[in-house]
Amino acid sequence: MIDVFDFEITIQNLVLMGAFSEGIDLCAANSKLAGSRCNWQRFPGLTYKLKNPKATFLLFRNGKFVCTGVKTKPKGEKAIITFLEQLKAENIVSNNCTFEWCVKNLVASVDLSGATISLEQFTTEFDALYEPDKFPAAIHKTDQSPATFLVFLTGKLICSGVADEETLKQTVKKFYDQLVEKKAIEKTLTTTTN
């Protein structure tokens, strides 16, 4: 959890992208990796859920992969190493196979503790999609960054689209300031002193 100003940001999921240094025989991988799934007519990759650490991989023939379900970079790297060890143990790749990876996206929840958001005011002041009969949050794509926010009446936000924690903090702070400036926050945050 990252403490920022009068709200908390909690990273819920990292999306990692990377590539093994070798191509993958997906048919062999599907037959040797227990629990793997594929449907070649609908999707050109293989899905595999790693149990420890918990992570889900999408694996492609060219060796590229997407990994989701981890909350920290060290856990992400551990998941990739564990998956590569399994691929080596099953002779799907050689013992010389390596990998490279990066964080592509962070998904974080933001709690504006003690505040509620007027979604009507929010959608008036911001370019947002809000269809309460279909989904309980307004969706807002920021102009200044690749971030997208889900904005809930309860003062909860979901932010996705940024790739590092510092950018995440700055993006959330800027968005929070805009909410205050445009009077979309109905209840002012209160701070207690000890």
For residues 67 and 80, what is the distance between their CA atoms, to the nearest angstrom? 8
- CA–CA gap between residue 124 and residue 10 (Å, rounded): 28
pLDDT for 3 equals 37
* Amino acid 4: pLDDT: 39
Q: If we measure between CA atoms, which residue out of 31, 33, 88 comes closest to residue 56? A: 33
Residues 6 or more apart whose CB falls under 8 angstroms from that of 63 comprise 19, 20, 21, 22, 23, 24
Amino acid sitting at position 82: T
Cis peptide before 74 (omega within 30 of 0): no
Beta bridge partners of 38: 46
Q: Are 147 and 106 in contact (CB under 8 A)?
A: no
Homologous superfamily of 22-97: TATA-Binding Protein (3.30.310.10)
Q: What is the pTM of this model?
A: 0.83
Q: Identify the pLDDT of residue 115.
A: 81
Cβ neighbour number for residue 160 with a 10 Å cutoff: 17
Q: Where are the alpha helices (DSSP H) in the chain?
A: 26-32, 73-89, 119-125, 165-181
For the domain made up of 2-10+106-181, give the CATH fold.
TATA-Binding Protein (3.30.310)
Per-residue pLDDT of the chain (194 residues; tens, 9 = 90+): 343 346 789 999 999 999 999 999 999 999 999 989 998 889 999 999 999 999 999 999 999 999 999 999 999 999 999 999 999 999 999 999 999 999 999 999 999 877 888 888 899 899 899 998 999 999 999 887 899 999 998 889 999 999 999 999 999 989 988 888 888 887 654 444 44
CA-based torsion, 137, 141, 144, 146: positive or negative: positive
In the chain, where the domains are located: 2-10+106-181, 22-97
Measured between its terminal Cα atoms, the distance across the chain in Å is: 22
Q: Do domains 2-10+106-181 and 22-97 have the same CATH topology?
A: yes
Bridge-based pairing of strands 137-141 and 99-111 is: unpaired
Per-residue model confidence (pLDDT) at position 191: 45
